[in-house]
Amino acid sequence: MTKFKSAAANRLLTAAGTQDVLEAVRTIAAALLRETECPPTDLVTIAARLNAKLSAADIFGSGELRRSGGDYEIVYAADLSVPRRRFTIAHELAHVVIDQTGPNAPRTGQELERLCDLIAVELLMPERIFRAHLPAELHMADVFALATRFQTSLVATAHRCAELARSTVFEVVNEKLTWSCGPLRRSAALRDEDLMEHMRRAASGQSALTVLYLNDDSSIRPVRVEYHAFGNTGRALFLLTNTSMSEAERVLQAHAG
């Protein structure tokens, strides 16, 4: 678990009345989301509550926060995709939240940026609401559908699914794992030869659903493996979910041959 020690983290803890940073993030986001449409989150309403104006411009980078007294202007690059634009706005709104915690609020720092990312995720995909939209049995198609519903990027949505559904997601580019999150992210299971063979297939443009018996560093168990290749780009997204023996047999029978 990440340890937060910055002045920004302390301000969030004080504002939320808790000793846990993640709980503070949820509490602060919930207050901003009260009576706000979601999904997708109505960022315009939240910005108005924080005295922040939103505008597009031809700027370097994805976005910036401009301050004028107690008013704020969030300027985002005009050419951003909808998910990237929404994340940029939510991130800058988090800066506004911290700026409003009192005089001399921190405005720079690696941990500050991480905290703003966490708030942005909670604003765009609130845990309580996102859980309500998670199916009992998560599949790759659900990740795509959730990304559309919440107007978030596929990668950010996959990360949220991994966090809340106890699944593992990772990306492969040209047969190499570029990032992973979820219970198996550091496991030897991700170096399993059978799984690596499917990584090679995905990199060649194939998509599939199967079950593999992977060693997760404690025991060998059936894992439902589903992957989606993005054409012939060499890039693919994987979703791994622990499954029962009965479901494993059902999946394997359905996709035999």
CA dihedral 106, 22, 134, 91 (to 10 degrees): 0
What pLDDT tens digit does each residue of the chain (257 aa) get? 568 999 999 999 999 999 999 999 999 999 999 999 999 999 999 999 999 999 999 999 999 999 988 899 999 999 999 999 999 999 999 999 999 999 999 999 999 999 999 999 999 999 999 999 999 999 999 999 999 999 999 999 999 999 999 999 999 999 999 999 999 988 888 999 999 999 999 999 999 999 999 987 667 889 999 999 999 999 999 999 988 766 666 766 666 54
Report the pLDDT value the prediction gives residue 248, as an integer from 0 to 100.
60
Chain centroid to Cα 172, Å, comes to 17
How far apart, in whole angstroms, are the C-alpha atoms of residue 157 and residue 148? 9
Report the pLDDT value the prediction gives residue 70, as an integer from 0 to 100.
84
Report the pLDDT value the prediction gives residue 41, as an integer from 0 to 100.
98
191-199 contacts: CB < 8 A, separation 24 or more? 195/225, 198/225, 198/227, 198/238, 199/172, 199/175, 199/236, 199/238
Of the candidates 158, 150, 115, the one whose C-alpha atom is nearest the C-alpha of residue 130 is 150
Per the structure block, which two tokens stand in for 205? 């443009």
Per-domain residue ranges for the chain?
7-124, 131-254
pLDDT 10s digits, 91-120: 999 999 999 999 999 999 999 999 999 999
Report the pLDDT value the prediction gives residue 69, as an integer from 0 to 100.
83
CATH value of 7-124 in 1.10.510.10, 3.30.110.40, 1.10.10.2910, 3.30.70.660: 1.10.10.2910
Q: Is the pTM of this model over 0.75?
A: yes
CATH value of 131-254 in 3.30.450, 3.30.70, 3.30.1490, 3.30.43: 3.30.450
Domains 7-124 and 131-254 share a fold: no
